[in-house]
Chains A and B, each alone.
Chain A
Amino acid sequence: MPSTTFRIFRFQPDSGKTEPYHQDFVLEHEPRITLLDAILRLQNEQDGTLALRYSCRSAICGSCACKANGKTVLACMEQVEDLKAANVGGVVRVDPIGNFAPIKDLVADMTPFWEKFKAVKPFLIPDGPAPEKERLVSKEAMQKIYNESKCILCAACYSECNSLAADPEFVGPAAFAWGYRFAADARDGQRKERAKLYSGEHGIWDCTRCMFCNERCPKGVDPRDAIEKLGSIAFQEKVTSDKGARHAKAFLISMRTGGKLNETLLVPYTDPIGAQFNLPFALQMLRKGKAPSPIPHRVKHLDEVKHLVKNVKETI
């Protein structure tokens, strides 16, 4: 029988230890065992104080998200043999999900996650009264929000989110996936209001586009794609006064007028007032040759770029 060392994050506030630490557990087990089953065996056979949330053990309840060798996973979906193979030395390191404070061991305080979920108004707000039977929705229209409907609120995306690491107030990938799920629901009547709600400080434009949420979501929800689609909805609804939206717009203007990105002009377009305060700094940078020239440079075949932009616009 194989034997595995599990290096597990411990935080035991009742024991008088105020700082977290890691503890090694060794377990002999059948070759095929999930990380969750291994931890449950440790809990049952070696240390009853070891804590983690879990329930369905079939990747649908979303309880058991944690980090295995640094990557957020659902413990119930990971095979220990795969985790060992991927890690030098064969030790399986287990930590709680990131961007949360610990309550005990692998149990994190998810309060901010639930509060932000509630803040996106995650419920249908239809226009007008309901019909007697079901609302008619085409298969295609329903399919548009199917991917986001699969979200199990496990917070794997939140755990991996780099924007959150920099700004704890950032609403986060899962909540925005839910935001899109309602904004794009053919039955919802609050598209514009939602676009406004999700823009602004800590909103959709604060996403750093690192794509970790897409990569680590265990259900293929692709929250980053949902955030991007919310950006499109914001433009369609003309909710574009936000710095982030203006930044995106500046890209487009720059492309249309010069055929390529004029990084110096991005700043005043994005934040005209703030840019004035930064003017001395910008001039200094220019003098030292650290910033490109603000004078627009045109590419040779600008008409081709314009044609491309038009084509893209028509396909959206």
Chain B
Amino acid sequence: MRAAIAAHEAGVDVALVTKVHPVRSHSGAAQGGINAALGNESDDSTDNHTFDTVKGADYIGDQDAIAILCERAPHEIYQLEHWGAVFSRQEESGKIAQRPFGGAGFPRTCYAADLTGLVILHTLYTVCVKYNIPTYEEWFVTDLVSDDSGNCVGVVAYDMIRGTIETIGAKSVVLATGGAGRVYRPSTNAHASTGDAMSLALRAGVPLKDMEFMQFHPTTLKSNGVLVTEAARGEGGYLLNKDGERFMTKYAPNKLELASRDVVSRAEATEIMEGRGVDGCVMLDLRHLGRDRIIERLPQIRELAIAFAGTDPIEEPIPIRPGAHYHMGGVHVDNWGAAPHMPGLFAAGECACVSVHGANRLGGNSLLETVVFGARAGEAASSHANENFNGSRPNVPTDAADRFQERLKEMLERKDGPRQSEIRDELADAMQEKVGVYRTGPLLEEAKRSVDALKEKFKSVVVDDKGKTFNQDLIHTIETGYLLDLADCMVTGAIARTESRGAHSRTDFTERDDENWMKHTLAYLEDGEVRLDYSEVTMTKYEPQVRSY
């Protein structure tokens, strides 16, 4: 939506195509906040924000892109505020309040209680309503459309309510479908987070970057993997093991619970593996914050903990464990969100990899990335549309729609085979077990065999619903195909990367290896097989250092 708004403001004709109503998007589940060096609470600076992000990324983020992210951050926060975002305020001054977050040297995270994502998502939607931007709600994109010269000139979309297939022509296309957290279970991600755009791009010949880096959030509920915001620790929450010990003193003596997420998740996994957990969890203790602060700053967390864990954090610690949360990898794009392999194609947000998060994203930087690089992608896509067609419409072939029609027919006619749900569950379990917080060569090889076997099994997948109206079984089947592509890229990338960096932590290669692995992984799909290539990391002024918190 941020891209659509930027495009509208640039004067081009823009529309949104989305498989869920815009306010149902998973950005609304982001809780804790959005980073910008406003300096409202301290002498913070853009340089500090940039350095923290470079370090958080374990030095594999592109430093020029990170500088863009951090420099544009205050502008985007003020822009959201001007559009009406209900940010929490400082007591005296009326300025936007900021709270401490993991891996950050200063209180830098702007927030709206623990509903920051919801407020920002809604704010952007209200601007889309104000601008009257046409929205194709519950239209599912199945293919990218390219012309004879390989330019992206539209998408094929399936109208979920009517069951019809349309080719939507466009001078440029911005992908913004979010992450692929559903490759795992449990996951903090919504059921809809199936990484659609990544697979669309991959199948169109565009490589995906750094797919092996999946972030495990340190605090997710045991029963269903629902997120407990980092703000719980930002506000002062403790992590305790079964002996009541604040174990982070051993792993990150300076930053403790506010070390970066990969560090905290590994610490928790180690405590649990070495027998100091409680039923496969550690405890998040908020009791000392007091009732008032919990109700004012963390109301949603309290509601979710009571509903899903039967625990009121005012009274008791919450059992939590690391869970799949955010995918650093994505569609390989440049600093304007443009895919170098396909003119006219852009991507922004979690489905894209610019890369600003490198091997590990800092809390509060994902919402920021969506607005900064969303706006930039919208601006760049508008320029592309204005500059490349001499005022005429692009030539939009319909053969991609015809091919989808064929695939659809074949899929619906197939009998006797597994359902998508079975394949999806097996995939998620294999990934959770074999490509988790800690990884090792033999287990990764096993994961690859599991993924290959599931890809084979998927060839005979059966869709139970043969109807045209709101056929969710069909949509879930297509999504499962997407997830298999992405899992393959993740596992193949992880096998090759024989080092430990950020969220990719191998017990058989425990050190970071800058000499051989200071590079981005690029995954291509060729004849159904993943092929890897590599590209350089952009360094500016920050030399790689030993990373400790």
Interface positions of A from 152 to 182, Cβ below 8 Å from B: 152-153, 182
Interface presence of B341 (CB below 8 A): no
Chain A residues contacting B307 (CB-CB under 8 Å) are 59, 77
Chain B residues contacting A45 (CB-CB under 8 Å) are 421
The reply to whether B129 and A123 form a contact with Cβ atoms under 8 Å apart is yes
> Which residue in A37, A61, A117, A133 is a CB contact (below 8 Å) of B190?
A61
Pair count A-B, CB < 8 A: 153
Given contacts A48-B473, A49-B473, A138-B89, whether A56 and B83 have CB atoms under 8 Å apart is no
Chain B residues contacting A150 (CB-CB under 8 Å) are 115, 118
Chain A residues contacting B21 (CB-CB under 8 Å) are 63, 110, 114
> Which residue in B29, B78, B129 is a CB contact (below 8 Å) of A134?
B78
The reply to whether A149 and B112 form a contact with Cβ atoms under 8 Å apart is yes
Interface presence of A58 (CB below 8 A): yes
Q: How far is the CA of A77 from the CA of B96 in the complex (A)?
A: 32
> Which residue in B77, B93, B127 is a CB contact (below 8 Å) of A123?
B127
The reply to whether A60 and B119 form a contact with Cβ atoms under 8 Å apart is no
Q: How far is the CA of A182 from the CA of B126 in the complex (A)?
A: 11
Which chain A residue shows the least CB distance to B424?
Answer: A44
Which chain A residue shows the least CB distance to B470?
Answer: A104
> Which residue in A13, A62, A114, A135 is a CB contact (below 8 Å) of B82?
A135
Interface presence of B467 (CB below 8 A): yes
The reply to whether B227 and A58 form a contact with Cβ atoms under 8 Å apart is yes
The reply to whether B84 and A57 form a contact with Cβ atoms under 8 Å apart is no
Q: How many residues of A contact B (CB 8 A)?
A: 58
Majority secondary structure of chain A interface residues (helix, strand, loop or mixed): loop
Interface positions of B from 1 to 57, Cβ below 8 Å from A: 20-21, 23-26, 28-29, 38
Interface positions of A from 97 to 125, Cβ below 8 Å from B: 103-104, 107, 110, 114, 117-118, 121-124
Interface presence of B149 (CB below 8 A): no
Interface presence of A25 (CB below 8 A): no
The reply to whether A48 and B467 form a contact with Cβ atoms under 8 Å apart is no
The reply to whether B300 and A60 form a contact with Cβ atoms under 8 Å apart is yes
Which chain A residue shows the least CB distance to B79?
Answer: A130
Given contacts A56-B29, A135-B82, A146-B86, whether A48 and B464 have CB atoms under 8 Å apart is yes
Chain A residues contacting B126 (CB-CB under 8 Å) are 122-124
Q: Can you show 19 pairs from A to B with CB atoms below 8 A apart?
A: A13-B467, A14-B467, A43-B421, A44-B421, A48-B464, A49-B464, A51-B472, A58-B227, A61-B23, A61-B24, A63-B24, A77-B307, A110-B21, A124-B84, A134-B81, A136-B94, A142-B86, A149-B112, A152-B28
Q: Which 7 A-B pairs have the closest CB atoms?
A: A48-B464, A14-B467, A124-B84, A136-B94, A44-B421, A48-B473, A123-B130
* Residues in A lying within 8 Å of B, measured CB to CB: 12-15, 32, 34, 37, 43-45, 47-49, 51, 53-63, 77, 103-104, 107, 110, 114, 117-118, 121-124, 126, 130, 132-139, 142, 145-146, 149-150, 152-153, 182, 185, 187-188
